[in-house]
A and B are shown apart, each in its own frame.
Chain A
Amino acid sequence: MTRRFGRTELPEEIEAMVRRAVRLEWISLAFLASAVTVVYLVMGSSQAMQAAWAEDLLSLIPPIAFLAAVRLTRRRPSARHPYGYHRAVGVGHLASAVALLAMGLFLVFDSASGLLMQEHPPVGLVVVLGHEVWSGWLMVAAMVYTGIPPVLLGRAKMPLARALHDRVLYADADMNKADWMTAAGSIVGVLGIGAGIWWADSAAALFISVSILRDGVTNMRVAAGALMDERAQTYDGNDPHPLVQEVDDAVARHAWVDQNRSRIRDEGHVFHAEVFIVPGVDAVDVEDLTGLREEVAALDWKLEDVVVTVVDEIPEALTAPERSSTGPHDAD
Chain B
Amino acid sequence: MWSAAACSFPQDPDGTLKRVTGGVLRVGVSENPPFTRWPGGAPEAGESGEPSGTEVELVSAFAASLDAEVAWVPGSEADLMTRLEESELDVVIAGLQATTPWSSHAAITYPYATSIDDKGEEVRHVMAVAMGENGLLTTLESFLLAQDLAP
* A interface, CB within 8 angstroms of B: 119-127, 132, 134, 136, 193-198
Mask: chain B, 107-147; 1 = CB below 8 Å from A; 0 = not: 11110000000000000000001011111011001100100
Known contacts A123-B134, A134-B10, A193-B134; can you find 13 more A-B pairs with CB under 8 A?
A: A119-B132, A120-B13, A120-B133, A123-B10, A124-B107, A124-B109, A124-B134, A132-B145, A134-B138, A193-B10, A194-B11, A195-B10, A196-B135
Once A134-B2, A194-B9, A197-B13 are accepted as A-B contacts, the answer to whether A127 and B135 lie under 8 Å apart by CB is no
> Does A194 contact B13, Cβ atoms closer than 8 Å?
no
Most buried by A among B1, B13, B15: B13
Tier of interface size on chain B: 20 to 34
> Does A122 contact B110, Cβ atoms closer than 8 Å?
no
Q: Is the interface of A mostly helix, strand, loop or mixed?
A: loop
CA distance A125 to B108 in the complex (A): 10
CA distance A63 to B19 in the complex (A): 52
- Within the complex, the shortest CB–CB distance from B9 to chain A, in Å, comes to 5
Is B3 interfacial (CB 8 A cutoff)?
A: yes
Is B77 interfacial (CB 8 A cutoff)?
A: no
> Does B10 contact A122, Cβ atoms closer than 8 Å?
no
Candidates B15, B131, B133, B142; contact of A125 at CB < 8 Å: B142
CB-defined contacts of A197 to chain B, threshold 8 Å: 13
Q: Which residue of B lies closest to A121 (CB)?
A: B132
> Does B141 contact A198, Cβ atoms closer than 8 Å?
no
> Does A132 contact B13, Cβ atoms closer than 8 Å?
no
> Does A125 contact B110, Cβ atoms closer than 8 Å?
yes
List 21 interface pairs A-B (beta carbons < 8 Å), by A numbering: A122-B132, A122-B133, A124-B137, A124-B141, A125-B142, A125-B145, A127-B110, A132-B1, A132-B3, A132-B142, A132-B145, A134-B9, A134-B10, A136-B10, A193-B134, A194-B134, A195-B10, A195-B11, A196-B12, A196-B13, A197-B13
